[in-house]
Structure 1
Amino acid sequence: MPSILPLSTTLDFRKAKHLLRRATWVYNIDEINALVGKTASEAVDLLLSYTDQTLRAPFNPKAGHNAEGYFLDDPVRTEKGDNDRGYITGWWLYNATRFPSLKYKMSFFLHTSFSMEKRVGGSRPIRYYDHLRLLDYYALGNIKIFATKMTLDPAMLDYLSNDQNDAGSPNENYAREFMELFTIMKGPQIGPENYTNYTESDVQEAARLLTGYGIDGGRTTFDPDTGIRCGKRLTNKHDFGNKTFSAAFNNQTILGADRQGKSYQELEAEMKRELDDFVDMIFSQRETARAYARKLYRFFVKSHWNDDVERDIIEPLADEFIDNDFEVVPALKKLLSSAHFYDADNDDATDEIIGCMIKSPLQLILEIMSVFKCDVPNAVPPEPAGDNYTEEELQECLNWTYGFAFKFLYRSVFQSIGFDLFDPDSVAGYPAYYQQPDYDRLWFDSSTIIARYKLVSAFLTGDDNIGDGRSASFIPRLDPVSYVEDNCANPSDPNSLIVELSDLLYPESIDTDRVNYFKSYLVDEGFQDYYWTSAWTAYKVDPSEDSVVRNRLNALVTAMVNAPEFQTM
């Protein structure tokens, strides 16, 4: 039976790589070995300990405007559009790839739970940047508080038009999505305008309660808890009447306020109290806890599950959310430390968890970079910046921000691979996280598979062969010769080399037939293993003569990365 109880053994290599893949964006042999021998709880604690930002703000590739090197300090650039959103995406990516941190996996999880399209709500770079900062701030925090803060997020206010929601003309967009997608979810429809967990009248009352929230065009309003820019309460546009909800919420009434004789500050406090009461009402429903337990399970474990998992895993996770007032870390630790997460609670080979998920394009890209220890440029400007830049330091920053993150990933790969980071097609998010019955299998389709398979050759050659001709000026290089030489125990033995690489790259070990298949990229048909051994020995004698081993290893790495085994985790 599925068991939420802690894994009773320490992590072996197989379980360590499973946790690292599912819980972080950084995956390589060193980080795997750092987890081997730890209990699951100890390993999760380690992944929770990396929370710092390496790059404090997005770098400005047009540094002529701004001696500090950060374009958000430059008033000329803060109102710009697509390019600057690309640089901000690169800022988040750089931080996410520095350490094996659960923070950034959870930051992306919050994005999938409160989805926003950056080209709409984040159309102004400053709003997009602050939205990502909010995701990062609460990645390991309290989801209930985060839901309150998101209601005042300028990007979300713009995206779902809640800045246009006022007492005289209520706009239901944000209220509807807050309930249907972001928190309690619909449930089965059981009657006209009745969705089990709430009704249409509840949406209407919620819209009334959410009137009067606007965007501070001067960007001078800051949240007192986070220090991040936020929206403002416009008391003259708020409906201060009582709001009465349906039987789904026990007919609860959230009291409004009498405006007579109250100061602006007092009315603002009344609006805040109404919002807090509304969020408390939503999060006091067990279905909200279940909704987040299911989202967490689908994101980290598996897209499909049976009634046993619902009873023995989802329900205890819901309890964990309720018992900890929606702090996310206790539920996250319980799940990632459980025997069930490591598929160690039964012997049923038909419900394997390890290796059951298709990697997202983001996972695939970052894993290729980290597993092969690609030479990633340093995108951190020197402090203080300005005249203290050397040409080499400036070029490193530009290589990441402009050459790789913007030109290659943002403008080329993401658009070709069917995944635009932080810019899903709709408020529902990326279909792989919500669209039944295929879920993560939707990462593959006929229009995106070619770009997916071209990725490894781009890293091998440094050439952008994926996009529409706007080629990257920098791609971190994958050097298989150096990697094998520095990280593999016996690279001169083709069998040992392939087994070692496959154990690292794939969720499960491969059989002899697959070893022999991959060996054909090192040893031509009809030749003995010593052909590769001789080639490797010759290279070691004279490293300048590396064409044979390089060509063979390039072919091997391409085949192993593009194999079905590497597409799963």
Structure 2
Amino acid sequence: MTALHNLRPPAVGLAPYTGTFGRPQAAHLLRRTLMGATITDIDGAVNQGLAATIDQLLAPAALPPPPVNHFFTDDPNVPVGETWINAPWLNDTDVGEYRWPSIRGWYMNGLIDSQSNIIEKMALFWINHFGIAAVNEQRAEYDFIQLCRQYATGNFRDLIKEITVLPSMLAFLNGRFNHKDAPDENYARELLELFTVQKGRPGDVNYTEDDIRAIARVLTGWRELGFYSTQHNTTSSYFQASWHDTGSKQLSAHFNNAVITDGGADEYKTLIDIIFQHPETPRALCRDLYTYFVGHQIDDDIEANVIDPLAELFVNSDFELAPVLENLLQSDHFFADEYRGTIIKNPYEFLLSMTRPFGGYGYLNLNLLVTYHLGTSYHWWAETMDMDFLMLPSVSGWKAYYQSPGYYRNWISSPTLQRRRTAVQAITNNGIYTEGQGRPLDFLAFIDGLTQPSDVNVLLEDVSVIFLAQPPHADQLSALKDILLPGLPDFEWTIQYEEYRDNPNDSTYVDPILRKLKAMFRALFSMAEFHLQ
């Protein structure tokens, strides 16, 4: 096995990484930024180098096409195969019957088929950051997901402005009921406490209750339109001036005692600009990014030498995310051995790190119905492991990203660990079961694409780099090898593999090697280390 470079403590700062950028380092970067890296991703990164790989990860990417009606024949406005995102509801037919599974299958399949780009990882970051849940209007949910993708590495201030009046957020945090005669403080509180300045480190006070009350008044008058409507093709938001509080709003010294006067429909934009002048707004977001990509332990040295410089860069970049991510992900600090294999994969990452490296299920040439049902099956598996992108546990998001002291360990419990084990059994046996049959991964095509699949030692080295954040212990490696070669010399694998390659349609040669591969991957994915990235 290729050893890691000598273990060293992490450099505390944002000095660029200048060490070896080989497979272990490339795999670490891609494991943290993609939903499961392929061997092509890893070797491509090594060949083009760190800077070019970062550029590729952060390059603009096309958004996935919208979800479609994959089976429902009772919606006259949306034939099977057409999208429903701009179609109304019906009076006498529950179109949610097909839109509910459609958006879930669409999202999960989008993760499986995602590009070699950070967009999906960052979109999930924003989904968690805003915590929108239980909206149940699929057109509004679609708009939220696409907004998270659109602003994946975009401008944070602009994103906050968009989110503030987004129909799904107006529904989720009661903004649609925010009236001058009865201001609703729900969104105002979360705007400060969770989305921008946040509570800060222990002992910090970044805003007052009077600030929340004043901000609630600023936001009066915004309403959503079109939820479950048979008349409106889409959901939208609008400003109702008669609901808006036109009086002056006084903010505290935390916001330089700013006074916001009546600005009508644009008043919330003035508010957001003021909030973004608070020094804790960039720092709070940089801490969240650090927790998401590096680790949850932020001591005084990291605060001073990583978070503060990132926050300064964030401000100087006018709150554009890409420069911040670029500096963090190519820093010596990020590549420190101490941080490799220290984050427990969330359920999406756990499932997709098994499927994406195998190329997903494209080789099966599935029809529309089965493709969407496969996606909803993956959604169901993740849901049983306590992750649902449309039903976060609270507006704070998933506990793994904020709750001390457990953080990532919150993903693992007796029930969720059992679900992970069951998922491994299914995926490495006949595959996820949909429409009456299993949908297996293409194990043979996968090993055919490795460096030298006829050499069992090189094969296991490739597999370890792809699927494990740290090289396996010698005993673990020996156990995996023994599954492929039970008590046999290494050359026996070469013989078996070459016989299969010469007879790819003969079950006499195909079935034995396929059984061994499935058993080996089942053992690999069952290792505790596979849960780490």
TM-based fold match above 0.5: yes
Give the AA of the match of 1:137.
Q
Secondary structure of 1:293's aligned partner: helix
Alignment of 1:345-494 (within 5 A): 352-376=338-362, 396-401=367-372, 403-406=373-376, 408-410=377-379, 412-462=380-430, 464=432, 476-491=439-454, 493-494=455-456
| Aligned partner letter, 1:29 | I
Per the TM alignment, residue 82 of structure 1 is displaced from its structure 2 partner at its CA by 6.5
Displacement of 1:318 after TM fit?
0.3
The residue correspondences of 1:231-246 to structure 2 (distance < 5 A) are: 231-246=237-252
CA drift at 1:416: 1.5
Q: Could you tell me how far apart the structure 1 residues matched to 2:86 and 2:55 are?
A: 35
Instruction: Measure, in 1, the Cα distance between the counterparts of 2:215 and 2:146.
Output: 27
Alpha-carbon distance, 1:112 to partner: 1.5
Q: For the structure 1 residues 140 and 503, does the alpha-carbon distance in structure 2 shift closer, same or farther, using more than 3 Å as the test?
A: closer
CA drift at 1:496: 3.3
> Which residue number in structure 2 is paired with residue 151 of structure 1?
164
Q: In the aligned structure 1, how far is the partner of 2:200 from the partner of 2:450?
A: 51
Deviation at 1:512, TM superposition (A): 2.4
Matches of 1:40 and 1:483, distance apart in 2: 25
**Counterpart selection for 1:287 from 276, 280, 288:** 280
The letter for the 1-side match of 2:349 is Q
Classify the secondary structure of the residue corresponding to 2:63: coil
- Compute the displacement of 1:163 (Å): 0.6
Query: Does residue 7 of structure 2 align to residue 15 of structure 1?
Result: no
Q: Do the aligned residues in 2 keep the contact of 1:48 with 1:101 (CA within 8 Å)?
A: yes
Whether contact under 8 Å (1:377, 1:476) holds in the other structure is no
Cα offsets for 1:121-153 (capped at 9, x unmatched): 2x1111111111221221121111111111111
Paired residue for 2:179?
Answer: 166
Count the aligned residue pairs.
510
CA-to-aligned-CA distance 1:330-377 (integer Å, 9 cap, x gap): 11111112111111xxxxx6xx11211111111111121111223237
Query: Residues 431 and 475 (structure 1 numbering): CA distance in 2 closer, same or farther, change over 3 Å?
Result: farther
Match of 1:247 in 2: 253
CA contact (8 A) 1:40 1:336 kept: no
Q: Tell me, what secondary structure is at the counterpart of 1:521?
A: helix
Provide Cα deviations, 1:434-493, integer angstroms capped at 9, x if missing partner.
Answer: 11111111111111111112223322334557xxxxx665764213233223424043x4
**How does 1:259-338 map onto structure 2 within 5 Å?**
270-338=263-331
In structure 2, relative to structure 1, the CA distance for the partners of 1:218 and 1:85 (3 Å cut) is closer
Query: How many Å separate the matches in 2 of 1:106 and 1:11?
Result: 23
* CA offset digits 1:95-133 (Å, max 9, x no partner): 34331111221111111211111xx22x11111111112
TM-score (norm 2): 0.89
Residue among 438, 449, 464 paired with 1:502: 464
Q: Deviations over 1:274-308 (max 9, x none)?
A: 21121111111111110010011111111213221
Determine helix, strand or coil for the equivalent of 2:281. Answer: helix
Q: Does structure 2 conserve the Cα–Cα contact (< 8 Å) formed by 1:213 and 1:234?
A: yes
Q: Which moved more, 1:96-105 or 1:54-63?
A: 54-63
Secondary structure of 1:99's partner?
A: coil
Using the alignment, how far apart are the partners of 2:33 and 2:466 within structure 1?
Answer: 16
Which of 82, 89, 94 matches 2:104? 89
CA contact (8 A) 1:80 1:124 kept: no
Q: Secondary structure at the match of 1:482?
A: helix
In structure 2, what is the equivalent of residue 387 of structure 1?
none
SS at match of 2:182: coil
- Partner of 1:510: helix, strand, or coil? coil
The letter of the residue matching 2:335 is: Y
Aligned equivalents of 1:506, 1:152: Cα separation in 2: 42
Answer yes or no: is the 8 Å Cα contact 2:431–2:441 preserved in 1: no
User: How far, CA to CA, are the matches of 1:498 and 1:289 in structure 2?
Assistant: 43
Structure 2 letter corresponding to 1:485: D
Task: Report runs of 4+ in structure 1 exceeding 6 Å deviation.
Answer: none
Work out whether 1:41 is the aligned partner of 2:48: no
Question: Quick check: 1:176–1:203 contact (8 Å CA) kept in 2?
Answer: yes
Q: Distance between the aligned counterparts of 1:422 and 1:233, measured in 2?
A: 26
After superposition, give the CA deviation of every residue in 1:3-34 in whole Å (9 maximum; x if it has no partner).
31222246311111111111122410011111
Identity of aligned residues (%): 29
Equivalent residue for 1:199, pick from 208, 218, 233:
208
Q: Is the Cα contact below 8 Å between 2:282 and 2:315 reproduced in 1?
A: yes
- Contact 2:484 2:520 survives alignment (8 Å): yes
| Higher deviation after alignment, 538-547 or 358-367 | 538-547
Partner-residue secondary structure (3-state), 2:352? helix
Higher relative contact order (CA 8 A, sep 6+): 2
Q: What is the CA distance between 1:229 and its match in structure 2?
A: 5.3
Task: Check the 8 A contact 2:399/2:407 in 1, yes or no.
Answer: yes
Do the aligned residues in 1 keep the contact of 2:34 with 2:121 (CA within 8 Å)?
yes
SS in 1 for 2:71: coil
**Among 130, 142, 163, the residue aligned to 1:114:** 130
Opposite residue 94 of structure 1, the aligned amino acid is N
Shift of 1:409: 1.9
Superposition RMSD in Å: 2.6
Given that 1:152 and 1:213 are in contact with CA atoms closer than 8 Å, whether structure 2 keeps it comes out as yes
Say if 1:49 and 1:472 are closer, same or farther in 2 by CA, change over 3 A: farther
1:374 counterpart letter in structure 2:
G
Partners of 1:534 and 1:252 in 2: how far apart? Answer: 77
Give the distance between the partners of 2:183 and 2:94, measured in 1 at CA. Answer: 29
Structure 2 counterpart SS, 1:251: coil
Residue in 2 aligned with 1:61? Answer: 71
CA 1:431/1:533 → structure 2, altered by over 3 Å: closer, same or farther? same
Q: Is the 8 A contact 2:313 2:323 kept in 1?
A: yes
Distance in 1 of aligned mates of 2:85 and 2:267: 34
